[in-house]
Chains A and B, each alone.
Chain A
Amino acid sequence: MSQWIEACGVDDVEDEDLIRFDHEGRTFAIYRSPDALFYATDGLCTHEQVHLADGLVMDHIIECPKHNGRFDYRTGEAKGAPVCVNLKTYPVKVEDGRVLVDIACARR
């Protein structure tokens, strides 16, 4: 069952960047890719529970701000040590300039 939650406006995230989005005790990361598409993943790195929102986005890769763990935020795929567990990703849609995330539909 879907649970679409409004995370932010499309202008709240810069191109090739991300923001943190907290909802009912959970934390997510919302990304805007260089080609202006939106993606969502869990907000914490799978290595040591660090908020990814402080990390650097280059193209489609988010780099953990702490230990250099890298993920492809489109698929959640861990790109090598020290991270070996993929990030969960969530479906995203844009409606009327708002970014919506289906937080009930995690994929790993």
Chain B
Amino acid sequence: MNGMVIIGAGECGVRAAFTLREAGYQGAVTLIGEEPHLPYERPPLSKNTASAPKPIAEEEHYAEAGIELRRGLRIAGIEPATRQVVVDGGEKLSYDKLLIATGARARVFAGLECAQTLRTLEDAQTILTVLKSSRRIAVIGGGFIGLELAATARALGTQVTVLEAADRLMARIVPIEIAAVFEKRHRAEGVRFIFCAQVLQAGPDGVVLTDGRHIDADIVIAGVGALPETRLAEEAGLAVNNGIVVDNRFATQNPHIFAAGDCCNFPFRGQRVRLESWRASQDQGAHAAHAMLGAQNAFSTTPWFWSDQYDLGLQIAGLPDLARPFIHRDLGDGAFVLFQTDERGCLFSASGVGSGNAVARHISIAEKLIERAQPVPPDLLDNPDVNLKKLLKG
């Protein structure tokens, strides 16, 4: 039986499966997950101390939608010539169109082999168990995951040392002015930072730095980025370059194979990017599903990221260019948004921090303005008295 096969039952794969049905597709839809669980949301894993996972969709919804969800199944390979997916154990599944939505795995540098990483529910449960019984932990990496875990650990009363290779936090995408707000807050909560840290080895009793320093810890957690899961694509002869190479509708060079989510590398506003983002995974899964059914339109949804640390909420729309200037808009109570416009005056990024969801409306408006790509006067962006929503009406 032919139909649509989706490898990977994370946010991207699940969204793609349901979108196929919403779009009216009548054939078979098979969604294959390597993990044994009902597909669950990953963002809470670093933020919450609750041990029960939150399902992306309830189990009965898959059956109601006629989606065959197969869990705990590892895929041995793809045979593009016969349009088949080979399951571990030898079973073969034929497809009309295949979506690879295999996501990413935690990166592990040399010397970090003993460190705990966070990607799956099991990882989160291991970390939570240790946090509850630990006196002190070391976190390698001052990015979203490391800092969210640091905040979670402080809430449990555990001492935390964060080791960061750069001279600042969240250096990949977050403007320094916003990173400084988080650093100050973490310090106030008692987190210790070591910047420009060169880790030699993580072991069962702590971390050794290349300068000889030793940081004692009951557990070492590494949050140093993620690598795209591209094995199946590579073995199937598909192009891979920091992710599975796809076009602006998530098609690979094989017309029957698509790839979307964290595992793919796609063209966006003149550059090739690979995103690791909860929202982007869903948006791309939905777009890929339509493309699998023949839609030709290009993906143009504004990327959106967030992080919660203590009561501070960070939201980013677009892809900030940290080398270019920011337009600062003060929202009061310590909240602010940083906008960036291109040479034509069009908004291309907005990053904000504040208590709770204080910046949400501004980021939401920015998302829509970015998508419209129409010039925005800079004196409106920095003036808190101007309601930016009016710009959406124009």
Contacts and interface: CB of A to CB of B under 8 A. Distances in A.
B282 A54 contact: no
Contacts of A55: 357, 360-361, 364
Interface residues of A, number: 16
Contact of A66 (B54, B306, B365): B306
Nearest to B365: A56
Contacts of B278: 67
Which of B358, B361, B365, B392 has the most chain A CB within a 10 Å cutoff?
A: B361
A99 B364 CA distance: 28
Given A55-B364, A58-B392, A65 B282 contact: no
Given A58-B392, A63-B364, A65-B364, A50 B57 contact: no
Contacts of B286: 81
Contact of A54 (B18, B61, B361, B389): B361
Interface string A47-90: 01011001110100001011110000000000001101000000
Contacts of A63: 364
A63 B278 CA distance: 17
A81 B15 contact: yes
B282 A82 contact: yes
Contact of B360 (A16, A48, A54, A58): A54
Contacts of A16: 389
A54 B15 contact: no
Which of A16, A48, A82 has the most chain B CB within a 10 Å cutoff?
A: A82
A28 B360 CA distance: 19
B279 interface: yes
B304 interface: yes
Interface string B144-177: 0000000000000000000000000000000000
B356 interface: yes
Interface in B9-48: 15, 18
A56 B279 contact: no
Interface residues of B, number: 21
Given A56-B389, A81-B15, A84-B61, A68 B358 contact: no
Contacts of B54: 48
Contacts of B365: 56
A66 to B, nearest CB: 6
A16 B15 CA distance: 30
Contacts of A56: 360-361, 364-365, 389
A65 B365 CA distance: 11
Interface in B339-388: 356-358, 360-361, 364-365
A37 B210 CA distance: 66
A67 B364 contact: no
Contact of A51 (B282, B357, B392): B357
A81 B360 contact: no
A54 B356 contact: yes
Interface string B252-284: 000000000000000000000000001100100
A6 B281 CA distance: 43
Contacts of B356: 51, 54
Given A56-B365, A56-B389, A84-B57, A66 B360 contact: yes
Nearest to B308: A66
Given A81-B18, A81-B282, A84-B57, A50 B389 contact: no
Interface of A: 16, 48, 50-51, 54-56, 58, 63, 65-68, 81-82, 84
Given A66-B306, A67-B279, 12 more contacts: A16-B389, A51-B356, A51-B357, A54-B358, A54-B360, A56-B360, A56-B361, A66-B360, A67-B278, A68-B304, A81-B18, A82-B56
26 contacts: A16-B389, A48-B54, A50-B357, A51-B356, A51-B357, A54-B358, A54-B360, A55-B361, A55-B364, A56-B360, A56-B364, A56-B389, A58-B389, A63-B364, A65-B360, A65-B361, A66-B306, A66-B357, A67-B278, A67-B279, A68-B279, A81-B18, A81-B282, A82-B282, A84-B57, A84-B61
4 nearest A-B pairs in the assembled complex, by CB-CB distance: A65-B360, A65-B357, A54-B357, A56-B364
